[in-house]
Amino acid sequence: MFLKLIKKRDRAAVKLLYTLSPVIPNKIYLKVLFRLKTGYSLNLKTPRTFNEKLQWLKLNYYDENLPQRVDKQGYKEWAKGIVGEQYLPETYSVWDTFEQIEWSKLPDQFVLKTTHDQGGVVICKNKKEFDFEAAQKKLNKHLKSNLYYRFREWPYKYVKPRIMAEELLVDSEKGDLWDFKFYCFNGVPKVMYISLGRSSEHTPFYFFDMNFKKLDIIRPGHEPYGDIIEKPLAWELMKELAGKLSTDQPHVRIDFYCIEEKIFIGEYTLFQGGGMMPFKPKDWDFKLGDFINLPLDL
């Protein structure tokens, strides 16, 4: 009961902090939020853990190319020049507002995404049965949001809010679209996890090293079921592409969808979970942190 009260109090504190975010200085905001989210104090002078180093990068590392790469459509334009367009899901069109969407030009199935934030996704499997009103309500809400103020991920501050229509990827064999997420460090993928179960209430994460050996990493709330997962046919190609797409960054997560041997690039994520993610066992926070070489001369 006592632990439940603490968690309830912390959730209320986080909610209040989000509301006050625009008027709180970056460093103070991150230190308070970090403590509430991770349960330990943020050390920015000598960061050691994965989560601490991501906060350091937010405050100290700037690359003018990053706003384009966290933009869901801008990332495609950049990745095309690195690995080619054959690995990119087709974009049908991009609009500034919901009212501009040209429905007659869209296929029967598609995905609508806001380009500047997280969670602004609406799936259409049948245009005749599509709930346009619910889609408008959700996407317009996301168009008004600014992800920067939640976790102070500075690249999002410079991304223009838009709506994109993209092809709907379907894996009819698995009945679920598996997401392969590679943790890369200066162009070298070190750890990855497979996210599945999107159609259920629980989304398990299965972590592997680059030899596809299962790791004992657990993300609370995403516990694996213990299923046996076979190495994907395009495993080596995904590793190669992840390396090419991450060469110039201390850390980035490169995502792929893999349908049989066909690969589609997903997203470019710099600060997963805002850099405030608990790991079990806790020593993985340090192990992953060791992979990040901070440019301390900045």
Q: Please write the tens of the pLDDT for every residue from 247-273.
A: 999 999 999 998 878 999 999 999 999
Contact 60, 69 (CB under 8 A): no
Buried b vs exposed e over 77-91: b needs ≥16 C-beta within 10 Å?
Answer: eebeeebeeebbeee
- Asked if residue 5 has pLDDT above 50, the reply is no
CATH for 43-87+171-298? 3.30.470
Distance in angstroms (rounded) separating the CA atoms of residues 41 and 79: 37
- What does the pLDDT look like over 191-212, one tens digit per residue? 999 998 666 678 899 999 999 9
Q: What's the average model confidence in pLDDT over 119-129?
A: 94
- For 31-89, write each residue's pLDDT tens digit: 999 999 999 999 999 999 999 999 999 999 999 999 999 999 999 999 999 999 999 99
Chain-centre distance of CA 89, in angstroms? Answer: 17
* CATH number belonging to the domain at 90-166, selected among 1.20.1260, 2.60.40, 3.40.50, 3.30.1490: 3.30.1490
Using an 8 Å Cβ cutoff, are 241 and 263 in contact? yes
The conformational region for residue 119 under phi > 0 = left, psi -120 to 50 = alpha, else beta, is left
97 close to 78: Cβ distance less than 8 angstroms: no
- Residue 228: per-residue pLDDT: 73
| pLDDT tens digits, one per residue of 162-178 | 999 999 998 877 777 88
Report d(CA 18, CA 233) in Å as an integer. 43
pLDDT of residue 9: 64
Q: Which amino acid is at 165?
A: A
**Element (DSSP H or E) covering residue 137:** helix 132-143
Considering Cα of 48, then 118, then 220, then 173, what sign does the dihedral take?
Answer: negative
Identity of residue 17:
L
Residue-level pLDDT at 72: 96
